[in-house]
Structure 1
């Protein structure tokens, strides 16, 4: 099922001197099983938007549809608890959410909270830990003994343990080294290939080009554009006006084309680009 926003408004601290409208009349349809990036300047409303998908925030007005769930301003959190299983949210620096004395206890907390037996939850913990690149020897360790990157993996494993249909990621690679970043993004792509919907907030346009299908551009609390990755990156002047850099490969292709080449701007990896340049030169 797609995720649909209908005229969503969100006002923080409404009816106070500190009132701030973060979302303004948002209409948006995120396709089922897509890998969708949400981009925009800091303060554009990206994080506020995604926290509505699993009802961590309720709209001030409007309606969100997530499968059989309808989220409005008047809903009670208890009614929406099952939605948290369907839509898992990984915050920026999710390792700060680790709290149990062992990694196994941390991972099984979510499934058991939704009624899974301890025995079954432990099997799930072992499985998802392998998915994020850690072996079973980590289950008995304290999460506080791990490196920052390993903590990130454990925190993500805790979300995957609930087997969400929708995985929402808010800058999930922030602070990771290049190898850790590539491993995390490859993991998210594999999860998407298994039929899960992935929603990614990121400032790294290289990730958007390489992994995503569609892009939502937010600006001043509004969805300003929603299109394919290729179409969004064609409008370099628009992105530059928002302070958003083009992916390195796309920027290079556009510069080549400005000097007489005719290379497909949707190319998203170096090998394809080398072949395309070779074809132009030899052609």
Structure 2
């Protein structure tokens, strides 16, 4: 599903002393099947933008198009089908977990969209295993879990609805390095089935390794909309926003300053070693 924003504005608490202009003239196209990183400092508008993708927020002005769904201030259509197609995992999983058991939490979404209980329970078991938790968790309360486990359950609940778009707000916060790697591989596998992933993150190493498309927001506006390779070639721009380069990319820039001619498109240590070897043998 293609995602398009046309002159989108969003203001929190309009016409009050607390009004806050969060999105300003957003024009954006996110191609179907891409793995897009949404980058920017805290308060830049990232979380506000992604909540427009499944209609949790309605633009104050402008138009959001998700495939055949068109959302404007005066034309909101029926948003329930859209929320099945575009699944949003919040930064804080507590916002999504509400049932007394994990099984009930995961089956809520599928059953809300017409799946029978037996099938929904089968899906819940499959999704729980997919996010790295075994079936013994099904009867546990989600509120007894660690932060990382709650995040896994929240992700399982969204995947259970079989969305076409997966929207993730800092999805690996609270996970250890191994858990982070497992979840990122899961998201990449999801994307490689032809579906779209949009991920808010501050981890530029994840952006380099998994994403192909990058959007940079600043003060409610889109400043960059480009490939990941293009983004990490602009070191001075990223420094101006206090955004660190990925470790590999930073090392490549240092080597190139010493006379190497390595491409910044390199994404892994193995690729880097091979490229350095090629340079040394020329």
* TM-score greater than 0.5 by the shorter chain: yes
2:218 counterpart of 1:242: no
Please give the alpha-carbon distance, in whole angstroms, between the structure 1 residues aligned to 2:145 and 2:193. Answer: 29
- Preserved CA contact (<8 Å) 1:39 1:215: yes
- The 3 A distance-change label for structure 1 pair 181 and 95 is farther
Please give the alpha-carbon distance, in whole angstroms, between the structure 1 residues aligned to 2:99 and 2:16. Answer: 38
- In structure 1, the residue corresponding to 2:15 is in which secondary structure? coil
Give the TM-score normalised by the residue count of structure 1: 0.96
Q: What's 1:38 paired with?
A: 38
Structure 1 residue runs of 5 or longer lacking an equivalent are none
Please give the alpha-carbon distance, in whole angstroms, between the structure 2 residues aligned to 1:145 and 1:73. Answer: 40
- In structure 2, the residue corresponding to 1:79 is in which secondary structure? coil
Please give the alpha-carbon distance, in whole angstroms, between the structure 2 residues aligned to 1:235 and 1:2. Answer: 27
Structure 2 residue runs of 5 or longer lacking an equivalent are none
Off by >6 Å, runs of 4+ in structure 1: none
Q: What's 1:61 paired with?
A: 61
Please give the alpha-carbon distance, in whole angstroms, between the structure 2 residues aligned to 1:95 and 1:176. Answer: 15
- In structure 2, the residue corresponding to 1:99 is in which secondary structure? coil
Please give the alpha-carbon distance, in whole angstroms, between the structure 2 residues aligned to 1:146 and 1:224. Answer: 39
Please give the alpha-carbon distance, in whole angstroms, between the structure 2 residues aligned to 1:8 and 1:263. Answer: 39
- Preserved CA contact (<8 Å) 1:95 1:154: no
**By how many angstroms is 1:186 displaced?**
1.2
2:252 counterpart of 1:253: yes
2:198 counterpart of 1:199: yes
**By how many angstroms is 1:94 displaced?**
1.3
**By how many angstroms is 1:96 displaced?**
4.6
Please give the alpha-carbon distance, in whole angstroms, between the structure 2 residues aligned to 1:40 and 1:98. Answer: 27
Q: Deviation digits for residues 184-236 of structure 1, max 9, x if unmatched?
A: 11111111112220000000010000000100011111111111000111010
- Preserved CA contact (<8 Å) 2:148 2:173: no
2:65 counterpart of 1:81: no
Q: What's 2:70 paired with?
A: 70
Matches within 5 A, 1:122-133: 122-133=121-132
- Preserved CA contact (<8 Å) 1:14 1:20: yes
Q: What's 1:274 paired with?
A: 273
- Preserved CA contact (<8 Å) 1:33 1:196: yes
Higher mean displacement: 174-183 or 17-26: 174-183
Q: Deviation digits for residues 56-94 of structure 1, max 9, x if unmatched?
A: 100000001001110111245x72111110100000121
Please tell me the root mean square deviation across aligned C-alpha atoms, in Å: 1.3
Please give the alpha-carbon distance, in whole angstroms, between the structure 1 residues aligned to 2:155 and 2:207. Answer: 20
**By how many angstroms is 1:142 displaced?**
2.3
- Preserved CA contact (<8 Å) 2:8 2:23: yes
2:52 counterpart of 1:52: yes
Q: What's 2:104 paired with?
A: 105
**By how many angstroms is 1:95 displaced?**
4.1
Q: What's 1:167 paired with?
A: 166
- Preserved CA contact (<8 Å) 2:164 2:196: yes
Give the paired residue count: 282
Higher mean displacement: 99-108 or 254-263: 99-108
